[in-house]
Structure 1
Amino acid sequence: MADEHATPGEMLILSGMSGAGRSTAANALEDLEWYVVDNLPPQMLKPLLDLTELAAHALPKVAVVVDVRGRNLFAELPQALHELRDRRQLRVIFLDASDEVLVRRFEAVRRPHPLQGDGTILDGIRRERQRLAAIRENADLIIDTSRFNVHQLATHMVDLFSEEGAARHVVTVMSFGFKYGLPPDADLVADMRFLPNPYWNEELRSLTGVDERVRDYVLEQEGAVAFIDAYATALRPVLEGYQRENKRHSVVAIGCTGGKHRSVVMARELAARLPEVAGVAVRVKDRDLGRE
């Protein structure tokens, strides 16, 4: 049962010009764990607000995309927003772009503007600006996307709405065995077969890279520490670039023959170094450790 005294979180209303990037912005918010509702008629805002207040812990951050696809229903949006502001912490975000940029974007995807009717794309844009004038005037934040591509807009949304200290990129460091095949979801692959294989050491064969004795053996080998330090340094600009391009997840695969000894040690050593990169959270996964 919901806590009657729970404080509901923030609600965002995401509106703006068609072609200005609402879908990209909404997807970025969804990646940040906002609950996103697309193309909601203004009349449904109050019932949605009631629902989120009943389930405050389950729906702490709600974003609603409202635009002219609602046609005649859209006219009721200003009054609905006025009523909502009296009850809830509410921000209205308006996405805009120049007419020239919007025309170019519609032409690129070969789709008509939703309001152009029998006219031109520019006619539709002008009609939409008239309908949205009151919303734009009362918006808490106006984002001009004229100079943004989709990746830059997504990154901008992350900058604006991610919680302080929250990871902007999650990297999974995966150990694996080459004899079982390459991980199909790997973004980067490193091969640890340049190091001596603990399998040929009778005392270590039955152990795994999780065991301290195997770890010590692997890291004592010539080139092991030098490689992992250099590889962590080389990955820094890659992970920083992934964040700029709003790539939220990546897999760095570390392989050896069977995925039991060297790759397991080196995956953990790499994972211990990567949190030094700002905005990165690290997970470790052993794909083949349990195989015979």
Structure 2
Amino acid sequence: MRFVIVTGMSGAGKSTALKMLEDVGYFCVDNLPVPLIPKMADLLRVPGTEINKAAIGVDIRSGQSFSELEKVLGQLDVAGMKYEILYLECVDDVLIKRYKETRRSHPLSGNDAPVREGIEKERERTAFLRKRADYLVDTSNMLTRELKAELNKIFVRNKEYKNLYISVLSFGFKYGIPAEADLVFDVRFLPNPYYIEELRPKSGNDREVRDYVMNNGNASEFMEKLVDMVEFLIPNYIREGKTRLMIGIGCTGGKHRSVTLANELYEALLKNENYGIRIEHRDIGKDAITKAK
């Protein structure tokens, strides 16, 4: 029997998580009143029950009863009821953007107060759940399909999960350093394919550009040292409770060298399934757009 409590920040993806769990065979109930959680748990332990996997969504929409949740979880612990807490996290700016896009008001801010105030209150009230979470998934930089892939890894494939999601981002310095990047590496020391006429219209996603960049001895040595350093940092970040890590790799225009090195780093880190990883090429098409203007 597996009993999952899905919670976290409003707008972080709880509905998506519950839908995904339902699709893989979990009996799901969203916004279950807090006082009914022990009764739900008891039903799962009835001999002969057909339900062996269940998930409930619990968040601050529960109103005043939400404050009782910590006490209820303590009751489950005393009763020997095994459960897992999935906490979905997201940074404030992304949450605010999502609320603006959906034109919804935050449950704790109402129609008049700023969304940011509601988010701050929610973080305070859910802090105890975040600390107790078995799985802490930060959806700030995730697409819906990427979130589903991470949940599939945890709840279907039963992979060990280290609560860290890595984003590898290529970019062009002339378009600005990404403010959200935790680590930034400059690969403008490598020969630039831009000055090779037949390579100029191509990108680091093309084999010809990739080979031109990586056949340079400095590129190979740099990649070995970069992978070694990142693999050293990851377990230390996890130990300190970091849930997201963005690694920026930049060249002049973000089309050739940075794309190539970002792809190489992504492929190297992808071999370890203990954490989630995605790749994004922020500026790969901007050169063509700029010239078209």
TM bucket, shorter chain: 0.5 to 0.7
The correspondence for 1:57, drawn from 20, 23, 33, is: 23
Normalising by structure 2, what TM-score? Answer: 0.55
In structure 2, the CA distance between the partners of 1:195 and 1:236, relative to structure 1 (3 Å rule), is: same
* 1:228 CA displacement: 0.8
1:226 maps to 221
Normalising by structure 1, what TM-score? Answer: 0.56
> Equivalents in 1 of 2:74, 2:200: separation in Å?
72
Contact 1:34 1:63 in 2 (8 A): no
1:258 maps to 253
* 1:274 CA displacement: 1.0
Letter in 1 for 2:79: N
1:210 correspondence with 2:205? yes
> Equivalents in 1 of 2:246, 2:39: separation in Å?
47
Q: State how 1:1-292 maps to structure 2 within 5 Å.
A: 10-12=2-4, 26-27=7-8, 34-35=17-18, 56-57=22-23, 60=26, 62=28, 74=35, 81-83=41-43, 85-86=45-46, 87=49, 88-89=51-52, 135-141=76-82, 153-154=132-133, 156-157=134-135, 162-163=154-155, 164-165=158-159, 168=162, 169-291=164-286, 292=288
For the residue of structure 1 that corresponds to 2:23, the secondary structure is coil
Larger Cα Rg: Structure 1 or Structure 2? Answer: 1
* 1:258 CA displacement: 0.4
The one-character-per-residue Cα deviations of 1:168-217 (angstroms, maximum 9, x if unpaired) are 43322111110011112212111011111111122322222122221111
Contact 2:193 2:213 in 1 (8 A): yes
> Equivalents in 1 of 2:31, 2:232: separation in Å?
34
For the residue of structure 1 that corresponds to 2:217, the secondary structure is coil
> Equivalents in 1 of 2:194, 2:271: separation in Å?
32
Q: Which sections of structure 1, spanning at least 5 residues, go unmatched?
A: 1-8, 15-24, 37-54, 93-113, 116-127, 144-148
For the residue of structure 2 that corresponds to 1:223, the secondary structure is helix
Letter in 2 for 1:287: R
* 1:82 CA displacement: 3.7
Percent identical across equivalent pairs?
31
For the residue of structure 2 that corresponds to 1:243, the secondary structure is helix
Task: Provide the aligned C-alpha RMSD in A.
Answer: 4.5
> Equivalents in 2 of 1:272, 1:207: separation in Å?
20
> Equivalents in 1 of 2:74, 2:223: separation in Å?
56
Aligned residues: 212
Contact 1:195 1:218 in 2 (8 A): yes
> Equivalents in 1 of 2:250, 2:27: separation in Å?
40
Letter in 2 for 1:165: K
Contact 2:170 2:282 in 1 (8 A): yes
Contact 1:208 1:264 in 2 (8 A): yes
2:88 maps to none
In structure 2, the CA distance between the partners of 1:65 and 1:203, relative to structure 1 (3 Å rule), is: closer
Contact 1:10 1:61 in 2 (8 A): no
* 1:91 CA displacement: 8.3
In structure 2, the CA distance between the partners of 1:182 and 1:153, relative to structure 1 (3 Å rule), is: same
> Equivalents in 2 of 1:173, 1:132: separation in Å?
37
In structure 2, the CA distance between the partners of 1:245 and 1:152, relative to structure 1 (3 Å rule), is: farther
The one-character-per-residue Cα deviations of 1:193-250 (angstroms, maximum 9, x if unpaired) are 1111111122322222122221111112231110011101100132223333443332
